[in-house]
């Protein structure tokens, strides 16, 4: 016999799941769901102690994630304490890499990033190591995590189209060469924005990466990349200008994921692309 109740329940569950996917919940972080409403009721009912210093629970110690698409992930406190040890290890590992391949291997050995345990693949780079232009993004998303390559999702398509317009491409085609990497090499769950602790520990790697590629022009896309490379953030003000980083010209610009949400800003982004093309022409590297 046909069990109508089961069919309705199943369809409701599928609808709810689809809704969660639309909201950006694309991985299961815990086997058992946490009822945050119950948790906040419980915390509100707890008597407040004004004297004793409170010990932060792992969940409350998590930095506010500026997640654009998914739920914040709670991390054990070991990942959230000052990351001195991690930064020292990152500097040592990155500094010892003499080639791009050695840098990739050094990163593979780096155990300290909180994002490693949820990620499927490390995402290192794509394109030609001989490129004059190196793009630095933020962190891999779901598709990049699946394929182990940067910028292969929707924002990557936009990025490829944008740079093709000024004659550059990461692919082995007729256009000039392009090299692409990210500040963070493992996908932050729910696409949360990497926080300062993450940027601090990945900074030695991306800076070494830039040194080894030695491009003529660097393009940091969005705030985490500007923070890691230029030590500044505030992309709206930073873009539109040239900066000097380790004798390399840097032209910050909007991240393509942001442009997908704010297509009205493509015009400004186009101005940055034209400035890059012009600079390549000036240094005799225009293809």
CB of 102 to ligand URA, least distance (A): 22
For ligand URA, give the closer residue by CB, 89 or 189: 189
For ligand URA, give the closer residue by CB, 140 or 204: 140
CB of 274 to ligand URA, least distance (A): 22
Pairing status of strand 176-177 against strand 133-137: unpaired
CB of 137 to ligand URA, least distance (A): 3
CB of 147 to ligand URA, least distance (A): 10
Q: Which two tokens stand for residue 233?
A: 């953030």
- Asked if 262 contacts 222 with a C-beta cutoff of 8 angstroms, the reply is no
CB of 61 to ligand URA, least distance (A): 26
> Rg of the Cα trace of the chain?
22
| ∠ Cα 170 270 249 (to 5°) | 65
Burial of 232 per CB tally in 10 Å (0-12, 13-18, 19+)? middle
For ligand URA, give the closer residue by CB, 71 or 220: 220
For ligand URA, give the closer residue by CB, 89 or 225: 225
For ligand URA, give the closer residue by CB, 103 or 139: 139
Dist. CA 209–CA 222, nearest whole Å: 18
For ligand URA, give the closer residue by CB, 83 or 125: 125
Q: Work out the widest C-alpha separation in the chain, in whole angstroms.
A: 77
Dist. CA 199–CA 189, nearest whole Å: 15
Dist. CA 16–CA 74, nearest whole Å: 23
Q: Which residues bind ligand URA (CB under 6 A)?
A: 123, 137-141, 144, 150-151, 155-156, 182, 257
CB of 10 to ligand URA, least distance (A): 34
Q: Which two tokens stand for residue 172?
A: 């082995």
For ligand URA, give the closer residue by CB, 89 or 190: 190
> Which residue of the chain is nearest ligand URA when measured via CB?
137
Dist. CA 287–CA 278, nearest whole Å: 11
CB of 242 to ligand URA, least distance (A): 22
- Asked if 96 contacts 90 with a C-beta cutoff of 8 angstroms, the reply is no
Number of alpha carbons in the 13 Å side-chain half-sphere of residue 269: 23
Number of alpha carbons in the 13 Å side-chain half-sphere of residue 223: 11
């Amino acid at each position: 016999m046909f069990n109508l109740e089961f069919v309705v329940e199943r369809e409701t569950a599928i609808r709810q799941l689809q809704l969660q996917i639309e909201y950006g919940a694309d991985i299961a972080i815990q086997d058992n769901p946490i009822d945050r409403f119950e948790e906040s009721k419980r915390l509100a009912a707890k008597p407040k102690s004004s004297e004793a210093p409170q010990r932060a629970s792992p969940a409350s110690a998590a930095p506010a994630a500026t997640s654009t698409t998914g739920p914040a992930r709670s991390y054990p406190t070991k990942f959230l304490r000052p990351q001195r040890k991690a930064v020292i290890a990152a500097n040592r590992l990155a500094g010892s890499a003499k080639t791009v391949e050695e840098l990739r291997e050094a990163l593979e050995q780096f155990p300290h990033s909180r994002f490693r345990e949820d990620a499927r693949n490390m995402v290192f780079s794509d394109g030609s190591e001989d490129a004059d232009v190196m793009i630095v993004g933020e962190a891999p998303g779901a598709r990049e995590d699946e394929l182990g390559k940067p910028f292969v999702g929707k924002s990557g398509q936009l990025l490829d189209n944008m740079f093709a317009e000024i004659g550059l491409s990461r692919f082995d085609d007729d256009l000039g060469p392009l090299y692409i990497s990210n500040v963070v090499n493992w996908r932050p769950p729910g696409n949360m924005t990497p926080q300062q602790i993450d940027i601090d520990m990945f900074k030695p790697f991306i800076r070494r990466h830039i040194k080894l590629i030695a491009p003529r022009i660097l393009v940091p896309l969005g705030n985490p990349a500007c923070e890691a490379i230029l030590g500044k953030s505030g992309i709206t003000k930073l873009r539109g200008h040239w900066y000097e980083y380790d004798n390399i010209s840097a032209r910050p610009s909007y991240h393509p994921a942001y442009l997908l949400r704010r297509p009205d800003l493509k015009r400004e982004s186009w101005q940055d692309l034209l400035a890059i093309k012009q600079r390549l022409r000036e240094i005799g590297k225009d293809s």
